[in-house]
Amino acid sequence: MLMADVIRAKRDGESLEPAVIEEVIREYTDGTVPDYQMAALLMAVYLNGLDQRELPAWAGAMLHSGDVLDLSHVPGVKVDKHSTGGVGDKISIPLAPLAAACGVLVPMISGRGLGHTGGTLDKLESIPGFRTDLSVDRFVRGVTEVGACLIGQTDSLAPADRKIYALRDVTATVASIPLIAASIMSKKLAEGISSLVLDVKVGSGAFMKTTDQARELARTLVTIGEGNGVRTTALLTDMNQPIGCAVGNALEIRESIDVLRGEGPLDTTTLTVALGGVLLWLGEAASDPSDGETRIKEAMASGAGLEKFREMVAFQGGDPAVADNPDLLPAADSRMEFASPSAGFVTAVDTEKVGMAGVLLGGGRARKEDDIDPAVGFEVHARLGDEVDKGDPLVTIHYNDDARLARAQALLSSAWTLGDERPETAPLIRELITVQT
């Protein structure tokens, strides 16, 4: 195989043979194909898509780039939840322990920040000592003993996605339906789960900006899941403003703890409960999604979810005391309020800009080898439909570096749009997509 020929073929809109796709993914994973050629191919896929033969081959090659876990010896129903990526999207962090507290097992392989969106692994690693690079044996023990364990791709689980994900993050090739679908499903199918709920985000902070695109992504994901024997359901949910008030790794852990205590922001709690309800229903731990929601709320109210979180953090090497004292999390040296330049109703939030401002602040990566600063981020005060006066804070910025602050401020200055009338806001949960829809 000549990689330049493969790139040229895809660039010119030709369909790649499944065997060629398998070879490319294998050779990129083992280092034979260099980053620059894979980056060019990813851009060609971004521009021309993958057809119905190419997509299963691409997703399958990513899945089989490593081991597929066999958890059949672990008693219990194994379920998972995954989001297509958003800003302030910390839902997996409270949801995994809540679901585990309700009796299902959650073997979750998560991602890092991607483009303007944050990543569950980066957030969890802001907990002092928390490890997401566990061996597969330890991961399985975590699932068995605690009920929930969250790790990243290892060299043995979906390693192709780990490399491709990092490359897409810095080559403007993220927002592609087939690449997102293959990335998510290669990780999820490697987990040995029987059911999966997907949170497909739509709006200004999502990779899918329109409902039609999000629906297409949701259907693609559900089809890949069901085609591989995993009961898969997707919720289309609104991403036209950050989820909750916290954006930034350690700040989002703080807010996740609030959700576990039943004291989280309404939207964050609503999403956790809705996704958890579907998850428990799919995992046969509830008779329907609404029964599942009741059980998740009970696990919040009783403290059982928070206790599971403590256990999960301790098992993964972190300090479980953060659950009771979030001040143990890293905090930025400085804060400043970013004031509204005028008065009016918040009619739009360019959530992608808010996410990118977080990256510029140091909370995400501009190059794949970059370290991130866990402490920086935003507390969002002005939400869609809110009325603000001139000078009211739109966000509080937590920062450690003045030059980075200036770059983040420049982006934030055009992220909020104010108008004279209170806008209609889209519902938080838009649609439920199953294999039949």
**Binding residues among 89-118 for ligand URA as defined by CB under 6 A:** 111, 114
Least distance between ligand URA and beta carbon 84 (Å): 5
- Helix, strand, coil tally for the chain in percent (to 5): 45, 15, 40
Which H or E run contains 387?
A: strand 387-388
d(CA 426, CA 304): 33
Closest CA to 346 of 394, 378, 391: 394
Find the shortest distance in angstroms from Cβ 221 to ligand URA.
Answer: 10
Q: Catalytic residue, from 90, 123, 162, 187: name it.
A: 187
Contact 345, 394 (CB under 8 A): no
Of 62-70, 175-183, 338-346, 409-417, the window that binds ligand URA (rule: CB under 6 A) is 175-183
Spatial CA neighbour of 156 closest among 66, 68, 69: 66
Complete DSSP assignment for 255-309: HHHHHHTT-S-HHHHHHHHHHHHHHHHHTTSSSSHHHHHHHHHHHHHHSHHHHHH
Using CB under 6 A, count the residues that bind ligand URA.
Answer: 9
**Burial category of 272 from C-beta neighbours within 10 Å (exposed 0-12, middle 13-18, buried 19 and up):** buried
> Distance (Å, rounded) from C-alpha 272 to C-alpha 256?
10
Min separation Cβ 45 and ligand URA, Å: 12
Binding piece for ligand URA, criterion CB under 6 A, among 141-149, 176-184, 272-280, 382-390: 176-184
Place of tokens 């034979």: 32
Site map (CB under 6 A) of ligand URA, residues 153-172, x = contact: ------------x-------
Q: Is 64 a catalytic residue?
A: no
Is 215 tagged catalytic? no
Q: Confirm or reject binding of residue 202 to ligand URA (CB under 6 A).
A: no
Cβ burial, residue 321 (10 Å; 0-12/13-18/19+): middle
Task: Provide the greatest CA pair distance for the chain.
Answer: 62
Residue 121 or 380 with smaller CB distance to ligand URA:
121
Of 92, 126, 176, 183, which residue is the catalytic one?
Answer: 183
Residue 183 near ligand URA by CB under 6 A:
yes
Q: Given the rule CB under 6 A, which of 178-186, 237-245, 343-351, 387-395 is the region that contacts ligand URA?
A: 178-186
Map residues 47-86 to x or -, x wherever contact with ligand URA holds by CB under 6 A: -------------------------------------xx-
Nearer CB in complex with ligand URA: 111/344: 111
Radius of gyration over every alpha carbon of the chain, rounded to an integer in angstroms: 21
Does the annotation mark 161 as catalytic?
Answer: yes
Return the range that interacts with ligand URA (CB under 6 A); candidates 180-188, 221-229, 272-280, 287-295: 180-188
Q: Considering only 177-185, 323-331, 358-366, 414-422, which stretch makes contact with ligand URA by CB under 6 A?
A: 177-185
**Which residues form the catalytic set?**
82, 161, 168, 183, 187
| Binding region for ligand URA (CB under 6 A) | 84-85, 111, 114, 165, 179-180, 183-184
